[in-house]
Amino acid sequence: MSLCAITRALPGTAVERLGRVHEVRLWPGEMPPSSDELVALAHDADALIALVTDTVDAAVFDACPRLRAVANYAVGFDNIAVAEAAARGIAVGNTPDVLTDATADLAFALLAAAARQIAQADRYVREGRWRTWSPQLFLGKPLKGARLGIVGPGRIGRGVADRAEGYGMDVTVFDQGDPAGTFERLLAESDFVSLHCPLTPETRHIIDEGTLALMKPDAILVNTARGGLVDLVAVAAALGEGRLGGAALDVTDPEPLPLDHPILTAPHLTLAPHIGSATRQAREAMADLAVDNILAALAGCAMPHPVAVA
């Protein structure tokens, strides 16, 4: 019997299934463990199920010499030192496919909410400022016929494209392998830009002061991928100065945002607390895939959902 450390309680019955085969050590808190707490949790573990809030790097591997497998409870894995794990013979897996529809739904919901200023209208009503119907109150952007630029043609990006096409939107997709100038042209021509690429050194702050300047002044930015793709200070300034029509963000950098962050006072902003995959069905399926990865690795088999080393 091996020992698997898990950094937070997971929905569903997958952890119980793992516990019938191996010993499970579960972090008891609602907040993520600190670096020292993570090491204390997993120092003698054979396997680790980590969340996107957990940094699993060389220091963790040094302090946890028995680790043979890490399963990330997410599709993205920028929080895991994958190359370092591979060099040490540690298998790393993720949870693809099962959260595609949930995240694509949330991305399109944010897009539509930003287009029609739903969050702002809700706040307007709750604050008692609604006095009468007005022909000029909360004038938004139509979706039909608008151009949506999708950055990243992965499963979630394609899912958003399918939803957008159902609304009659004109969809353009950018891949990092596309010819030079394609990304800049997409930004300049799009009424909405939705980010779905992984966070890498090359994509960090792919949206910054320079790329924001290329966008239409009434364009809307949507991000449900990783917060580090966007320079939030630059977005806050663009919104405040009327150089960007709106932003809808499910992810930020940092997470959570400090209450004095300038983005929180920016106009035309819709925020969510990183809930892209937050349906019960998706989160339970993610737990199943993470446990499947651990069970396979501890049995000496290849993970069914491995992360490839770039």
Instruction: Give the Å distances, CA to CA, from 294 to 17, 39, 88, 300.
Output: 11, 18, 17, 10
Count other Cβ atoms within 10 Å, centred on residue 274: 18
255 part of the active site:
yes
CA 213, 216, 220, 226: dihedral to nearest 10 degrees? Answer: -30
- Which residue of the set 226, 268, 283, 305 is catalytic? 226
pLDDT digits (tens, 9 = 90+) for 105-143: 999 999 999 999 999 999 999 999 999 999 999 999 999
Count other Cβ atoms within 10 Å, centred on residue 87: 12
**Structural domains of the chain in order of their starting residue, each with its CATH number:** 3-98+280-298 (3.40.50.720), 100-271 (3.40.50.720)
- Which residue of the set 196, 274, 283, 305 is catalytic? 274
Please tell me the predicted confidence (pLDDT) of residue 309. Answer: 75
3-state secondary structure of 160: helix
Tell the residue number behind the tokens 């029509």, with chain if given. Answer: 245
pLDDT digits (tens, 9 = 90+) for 201-249: 999 999 999 999 999 999 999 999 999 999 999 999 999 999 999 999 9
226 part of the active site:
yes
Please tell me the predicted confidence (pLDDT) of residue 65. Answer: 98
CA 153 to chain CA centroid, Å, is 15
- Which residue of the set 16, 165, 255, 280 is catalytic? 255
Instruction: Give the Å distances, CA to CA, from 33 to 25, 79, 179, 283, 296.
Output: 13, 14, 43, 20, 26
Q: What is the mean pLDDT of residues 77-95?
A: 97
Q: What is the mean pLDDT of the chain?
A: 97
**pTM to 2 decimal places:** 0.94
- Residue 185: pLDDT above 70? yes
- Residue 310: pLDDT above 70? no
Instruction: Give the Å distances, CA to CA, from 228 to 117, 127, 252, 284.
Output: 25, 33, 7, 26
Cβ-Cβ contacts under 8 Å for 228 (sequence gap 6 or more): 78, 199, 204, 205, 253
Please tell me the predicted confidence (pLDDT) of residue 112. Answer: 98
- Residue 192: pLDDT above 90? yes
Instruction: Give the Å distances, CA to CA, from 157 to 103, 153, 198.
Output: 9, 5, 11
Residue 10 binned pLDDT confidence (cut-offs 50, 70, 90): very high
Contact 21, 42 (CB under 8 A): no
- Residue 308: pLDDT above 90? no
Q: What are phi and psi of 132, to 5 degrees?
A: -165, 165
Tell the residue number behind the tokens 């944010």, with chain if given. Answer: 110
Please tell me the predicted confidence (pLDDT) of residue 198. Answer: 94
22 part of the active site:
no
Instruction: Give the Å distances, CA to CA, from 106 to 1, 20, 99, 223, 271.
Output: 40, 35, 11, 10, 12
Please tell me the predicted confidence (pLDDT) of residue 22. Answer: 98
**Radius of gyration, alpha carbons of the chain:** 21
**DSSP H stretches of helix in the chain:** 14-19, 35-42, 58-63, 82-87, 100-115, 118-126, 155-166, 182-189, 209-212, 232-240, 280-298
